[in-house]
Every structure is written in structure tokens, then in C-alpha cells.
Chains A and B, each alone.
Chain A
Amino acid sequence: MAVKILIPTALRQYTNDLASIEVVGETVGDLFLAFTREFPEIRKHLFLEDGKIRNFVNVYVNDDDIRHLQRSATPVKDSDVVSIVPSVAGGSQSGDAELSPQEIERYSRHLIMPEVAVSGQKKLKAASVLLVGVGGLGSPVSMYLAAAGVGRIGLIDSDVVDTTNLQRQVLYSTADVGRPKLQAAIDRLNGINPFLKIETYQERLTSQNALEIAASYDIIVDGTDNFPTRYLVNDVCVLLGKPNVYGSIFRFEGQASVFYAGEGPCYRCLYPEPPPPGLVPSCAEGGVLGILPGTIGMIQATEAVKLIIGKGEPLIGRLLLYDALAMTYRELKLRKDPDCPICGEKPTVTRLIDYDHFCGIGTAADRRVPEPVREISVIELNNRRSAGKELHLIDVREPHEFDICRLPDSLLIPLGSLEQRIAELDRSWDIVVMCRSGIRSAKAVKFLREAGFEQVENLKGGILAWADEIDSSLPKY
């Protein structure tokens, strides 16, 4: 099949002045292979050394950019017209980071400090930082980096603002509930500082998109709340040679460090393997002091700014442990592990892997469970209780959670004390176990089944589902 390729005037010097060329091929990739074989001179203007298309070169099939189709695998047919389209850009000031008079006024408190000064402020303006997750940690990090004048801030998050976020995610206001986080974030950050470029990625960071997204940023800030993404962020940073400004929070305690494999250890040097799934509860399961992500996020923002302006002692090779109740900071020295699977002397991880699988989530975890946990929906439970069926409802949450809300006639046995109090239960009972969302209760069901209880079911979705579907007067938390 012959497809027409339109040549921009600038490149016709390499095509014997032809404005269009007919080439045979099934995909855009085929066409370009054949085309550049015929006119080899044109190659260096269209492709980089590694064969990737230059970023100011765009290829269109009819009216569509192939970046939005299947890139070089985009199929073509006879009637299609393929165009090589230049992106044209320029400007008046040299360099990327001249400060305008408005910026000089805005950053004056930075400019008068010799450690920052105009040169540091220009570095901030020229810098780019990617925030993975715009939640509890991402809120203060994004706001302070925006205020400080970091020129390009990337945000990746696929969530919608939820009422339970507002206790700690100060980037969002009550009116934002239900809005995509990134939309609300753009408004807020532009309000703080309009002299910035905010780029948003409303998606989850995955092994497929991570390298491409992270490649164009100088620094990556990890604001994630789960192990698969944390290992993914670490590996992306090691593979791309970028610093990973790490923070994590749980209840009253937080950690922060800078993992930078070029100059120190990485996250895998510290934790080569993820904990078994379910062992470490998430903030959603275990709770978190609302102020805690503020404290830890601010440390992350400080480290990011220090890395950019190149001043002070970065948190590379040190793990900062913060305890809000005791109000203490402790510091652990971290050493680079020569056997680290990704940054060690003989790395075994040389590209991104399946992190859900690595962390025992999904298929692998399913295989480990001998039989599926039997579940009951809140509607079915309500029907059975209304019909007067005798069943025992066991709530495995913590006492303070029980105080917030509970179902009538439920027996409180926190998951941690289930083993000691198992004698209170009778193996002949019909038992339904519940918790907040159904995760802890699933563990309880599994434990009870193994202890010989036959009729045990897990309340799917927990008390949250009950509040959604049965009794909206119950407070959600």
C-alpha cells in the first residue's frame, strides 16, 4: 500500500525538493523506515541517536497526532496522509530562568539570603519536580514548592477529593469534595503562584508509564501510601539516576530520607523486600494524625529545595525518624548495600517489574489463600437481621473506632485480641465479622476458619458500606 508523506519545507532540501513522497508500509513505523532508507540525510533531523523521535518533531496521520494513536505502530491505509509537523517555539530571553520584575519582588525574602540569592532563585525557576501522589504529603510539598518558585511541578494522582481527606490534605477545601484532586490542585497552586508551569497526570503511576513521565523531571518526591508504588518510584529513580525524596507516615510517626543511588543508598538498600501483605496497615486502616503529613511533607519540600539550590547537607544516607507524641527526631545512618538488587554491584533488577506481584498483591496473594473468604453484603445482612435470623455480629475494630460508630448488637473483639478471646465464641454459631472496610475482618474470618469455625462470613465493605447503603446517619471516618 502506498501512503503519502508530506514533507515540511525545511526538510525538502533532503528529499530532492519533493513536497510529498509515496511510501509503502502497513504502519507509520514501516513508512519511516522505508522513507529514511531512501533519504538517509533526513534521519538526524527527525530522530535522536537512540532512534526516538525528536520532541519538536510531530507525526500526524490525517488529523491525529500519532502520540494519541499507537505511535509508530499506528496502522495506515491507502487514502491516509501522513504529515511531518514541526513544533515551533522561541522567545526573547536567553536561558530558561530569567526573573521578571514581578518575580524579583515575589521572591525578595529568598533573594536577600546569600545561600539562595538570584542565582538560587533562577535554579528554582529552572527546576522541575514530580510529585507522585497529591495527598497528605503531596499537599504541603506542592504548596511550598509552588510558593518557593519551582518552575515546573508535575502532579500525578488519579483520586477524587473525599471528605475523609480534609483532615490532613490541606491543599483541598470542603468545596472540592467530589472534584478530581488534580483539578482542585491546579486552582490552588496557581492561586499561590501564577508564575509556574503545573503539569498533571490524572492516572496511576505504573511500570508502563513511569519512566516516560519521570524522565523529564529533575527530582521525584514520593508521597505514596502503598508499597508497590513506593518500590516503583525507587526503581524508576535508580534507573533514571534521579533523587527520590522519600517520606512516609503512620499514626503519630513519620520517616523521611533522600534516596539517591548515585550518591548513597536507595530504598531497596534499606528494605530489599516488601513486608508480607497485610502486616503493615495503611493510613486508611490504621489512621494518621492529620498534622503529621504536614511535618514530614515540609521536610521533603525542604530537601527538594536544598537539592535544587545545592546548599546544606542533604538527607542522603540518613533516615530521619519523627515521633509526634514524644516529639523527638532520631537519625539512622543508612549504608549503601553492595548486594542491593537494583543499585548494588551486580544488579538483578535492570528494568521495571510487576510491583503488585512483587508486593504479594493480586494474583500471587490470591494463590496463597487456600479458599476464598465467604462474604455477605450489607443488604443481605440487613435482610437477615430484619427477618430475625439468629446470627452473631463480631466487630474486630479498635475500641476508639467502635466509639465513633457501631451496628446495634455487635460484639467488639479487636483483631489483635481475637486469639485470646476465641473461647467467647461458639463453633455452632452463624458468625458475621465486620470492620471499617472489610479488610481486617477478612483476616479475622480466615483466622476463625482455620480455628475450626465453619459458618463465618465477612461483611463486604464493612461499616462504610453499611453507612452508604443502609444507614446514612452513621458517621463515616
Chain B
Amino acid sequence: MALRIDENQKRLVGSFSEESYPDECCGFLLGRRSGTDKEVVLIMPTVNEQVRTEKYHRFLISPEAYLKCERYAQENELDILGFYHSHPDAPACPSDFDLKHAWPWYSYIIVSVRKGQTSNVTSWVLADDRMSFEGEVIESNPYSPEEQDVASRPVESQEDRTWD
């Protein structure tokens, strides 16, 4: 199980996250499925619909935005593979709040932004029992040793215990 993502698209997720800092950003991952692997070909940002004062630690994608994105995906023979969102000044691991609202199967890319700079990008999938997230390997293409290093660096807090 892995999430393949084009290097440019992955960098894009980072810049969206930096742009919206200190607020959280969010958006869709569009692409194709092959077996248990997913290949992201397009990052589609969307408005964080949370109330203004909560955006620093919350994001919300409206069903209308989802519907619109799904239509776009269908027309382009793509699937919604998951979502990305940023964690400003917080580790790139899912929060309890993320867990409470998670859907099965989708990939959740989380970008940690420290003082306005992308510091870590990880991906997660909800476990079958809905009790935790399982880490998902991000494969970037073309291979970049530097980036790969960042993405797989051991995580910084005990909250990351679901990472394996």
C-alpha cells in the first residue's frame, strides 16, 4: 500500500500549506487506483469552510465542494483518492479530531508547517477498526533523496505511535 505522487504536485501541497499559514488549508487528491496503490496526478485546493476564528486548528470541506470536485474527477476519468490538510506549528500526524471525522479508504496527507515553512509531509489511512490511522508510504517520482529523507524522518512526538 503506497501513495505515489508526482514531485511537483507534492511540492504544491507544501506551498498551499505555507500560503495559508497560520491557518490550515485543505484540498482533494485526484488520481488513479492500481490494486492497493494510489497514484495522485492532481492536487485540487478548496476553501477551508471553517469559521474564521477556528481555522488555525480546524478545516472543513463542504459537501458542495466535494460534489463539484467529484464531477470534475468523473469528467476527467479520475477518482478522489483522499484529501490533504496542513498542521500549522504542529506535528504531521493525525489528531484525535482527524480520527473522529475520518472516512475509510481515503488517503489523508498531512503537512506540518513550522513558522511558515513546510517541515514534514506524511500520509495516513484510517484503520479498519476506526480506532487509529495507519501510516502510508509516500513515493515521489522522480526520486529525490532529500525529500524522501524528510518524509520518512522519525516523527517527533509520542502522538505518532501509529506510524510504522
Contacts and interface: CB of A to CB of B under 8 A. Distances in A.
Given A87-B60, A195-B53, A94 B106 contact: no
A89 interface: yes
Contacts of A89: 58-61, 97, 101
B88 A92 contact: yes
Interface string B75-97: 00001110101111010001111
A10 B70 CA distance: 12
A87 B63 CA distance: 5
A250 B94 CA distance: 53
A295 interface: no
B97 A87 contact: no
B131 interface: no
Nearest to B126: A10
B134 to A, nearest CB: 15
Interface string A1-40: 0000010111101000001000000000000000000000
Given A90-B85, A93-B95, A10 B57 contact: no
Given A88-B83, A91-B97, A10 B58 contact: no
A65 B80 CA distance: 20
A93 B105 contact: no
A90 B105 contact: no
A246 interface: no
Given A9-B79, A87-B61, A194-B53, A92 B70 contact: no
Interface stretch (A95-103, A109-117, A341-349): A95-103
B130 to A, nearest CB: 10
Contacts, number: 104
B70 A94 contact: no
Contact of A88 (B56, B61, B74, B79): B61
B66 interface: yes
A88 B97 contact: no
A226 B12 CA distance: 58
Contacts of A94: 95-97, 159
Contacts of B98: 90-91
A318 B124 CA distance: 53
A92 B96 CA distance: 9
B67 A85 contact: yes
Contacts of B159: 94
A18 to B, nearest CB: 13
A443 interface: no
Contacts of A128: none
Contact of A93 (B81, B85, B97): B97
Given A9-B79, A85-B67, A194-B53, A90 B108 contact: yes
B102 interface: yes
B96 A88 contact: no
A10 B103 contact: yes
Contact of B96 (A6, A19, A95): A95
A255 to B, nearest CB: 36
B143 to A, nearest CB: 27
Given A85-B63, A85-B66, A92 B57 contact: yes
A196 B54 CA distance: 9
B81 to A, nearest CB: 7
Contacts of A56: 101, 103
Nearest to B38: A9
A87 B59 CA distance: 11
B40 interface: no
Contacts of B61: 87-89
A91 B23 CA distance: 10
Contact of B104 (A6, A45, A63): A45
Interface of A: 6, 8-11, 13, 19, 45, 56, 58, 60, 63, 65, 83, 85-96, 98, 100, 194-197
12 contacts: A9-B106, A11-B105, A60-B67, A85-B63, A87-B60, A87-B63, A88-B103, A90-B59, A92-B87, A92-B95, A98-B57, A197-B54
Q: What 10 pairs across the A-B complex have the smallest Cβ distances?
A: A92-B87, A91-B58, A94-B96, A88-B61, A92-B90, A90-B98, A58-B63, A85-B63, A10-B105, A89-B101
Given A88-B83, A94-B96, 15 more contacts: A9-B33, A9-B79, A9-B105, A60-B63, A65-B63, A87-B66, A88-B66, A88-B101, A89-B58, A90-B58, A90-B108, A91-B97, A94-B95, A100-B57, A194-B53
